[in-house]
Chains A and B, each alone.
Chain A
């Protein structure tokens, strides 16, 4: 294996961790929104935390190794698929962070309510199903999908 093979394999591994971790977080988020009981909402939002190291490592690996690959292969930085992917990576991170902050607040409230008798609460249900957070999370997923499209089709290459 030469340097290119190593960089590509690790870049692809980063992408698997990023998208796989996001799918896992998406499943937990979906399940948390299908219940009203605080202990169950806390359980699924708590499991989202397991995916965060994978998403973090995957995000950094895809970006750093991707930039390294561009330099190594001598692609032009002006090619649309390269700067478009970097832009989408930034959008994905920003949207994912916005959605994640609401989930963290919902998890905190759910844990408190679970300890106080586990009775359903309209405030918690509204927070767990927050429309803006959902739009942010699905937007982050869409950005990741578009990055994959750019990486495979390489428009402008």
Chain B
């Protein structure tokens, strides 16, 4: 029962990490929803702009907060080596940044094209994949197998 014996020095870093991760999940959810919605709605230009702005204003800042919190928490914990649950979290986090940056580029491209073309769908697919990866990461980080 780690939560009941966790030293208080870990609380603030863990709070920063979890809050960042939750906002990252919600922002990515919004991006995915805008991408899928643009498939069959006439307001493609509006949704393309909303997708790009949400990525810049919510998703990327949340990723930074989540990642700073992760590193800060790890620095407080005296864990030898890299257990599987930390490795899995790091992998989702760091590979996710690459995926998010590709999504930002595609979302910018989609906004320039006023939502026409294949780019909004590509952003929807990438963000949906990232949502699944985030769910796997929070499950693994919670259960610490």
Contacts and interface: CB of A to CB of B under 8 A. Distances in A.
B77 interface: no
A11 B101 CA distance: 31
Given A1-B143, A8-B3, A16-B138, A148 B26 contact: no
Interface stretch (B14-22, B88-96, B106-114, B116-124): B14-22
Contacts of B43: 39-40, 43
Task: Place the interface of chain B in its size category.
Answer: 20 to 34
A19 B22 contact: yes
Contacts of A148: 15, 18-19, 22
A88 to B, nearest CB: 16
A24 interface: yes
Interface of A: 1, 4-5, 8-9, 12-13, 15-16, 19-24, 26-28, 31, 35, 39-40, 43-44, 47, 50-51, 54, 73, 145, 148-149, 152-154, 157
A114 B56 CA distance: 30
24 contacts: A1-B143, A9-B139, A12-B138, A13-B135, A13-B138, A16-B22, A16-B25, A16-B138, A20-B22, A20-B23, A22-B26, A23-B58, A24-B33, A27-B30, A40-B43, A50-B33, A51-B29, A73-B4, A152-B14, A152-B15, A152-B18, A153-B15, A154-B3, A157-B4
B30 A9 contact: no
Contacts of B19: 145, 148
Contacts of B14: 152
Contacts of B33: 24, 47, 50
Contacts of B30: 23-24, 27-28
Nearest to B50: A31
Contacts of B25: 16, 19-20, 23
Contact of A8 (B21, B47, B142): B142
A22 B18 CA distance: 15
State the 6 A-B residue pairs at the shortest beta-carbon distance, nearest first: A23-B26, A20-B26, A20-B25, A19-B22, A9-B142, A27-B30
B23 A43 contact: no
